Amino acid sequence: MPTKNAKGREKKKITFLENITLTIDDKIVSVPNGSTVATAIFARDPKAFRRSVLGEPRFPFCGMGICFECRVSIDGIKHERSCQILAKAGMTIETDE
């Protein structure tokens, strides 16, 4: 029988997501399934995104794919926006770091 909260509404069971494993700059990283690639990169090293043509560190700015500051190579495809792509088990990500 479902349990109810104080307002009489049925309580929903929260299920935590399983982790997936991917490779970022030759290092194995584990993140919750449903995370973006940008989240996985931050989990590995918040300073490891890319560098500008002048060598300055660049990081995601907008989080919605407009600024292109989160660009990385994913499975050999360059200039992918990591904030817009969900991480998948077995992915290989290369940053400029």
Q: What digits encode the pLDDT tens for the residues 58-84?
A: 888 888 889 888 999 999 999 999 999
Q: Which residues of 41-74 are buried (b: 16+ CB within 10 A; e: fewer)?
A: bbebeeebbbeeeeeeebebeeeeeeeebbbbbb
Could you say which residues of the chain have pLDDT below 70?
1-2, 11-16, 97
Q: Which of 1, 64, 4 is nearest to 36 (CA)?
A: 64
Among residues 16, 54, 19, 52, which one has the least CA distance to residue 33?
19
- Give the pLDDT of residue 92: 97
Q: How confident is the model at residue 2, as a pLDDT?
A: 64
pTM of the model: 0.77
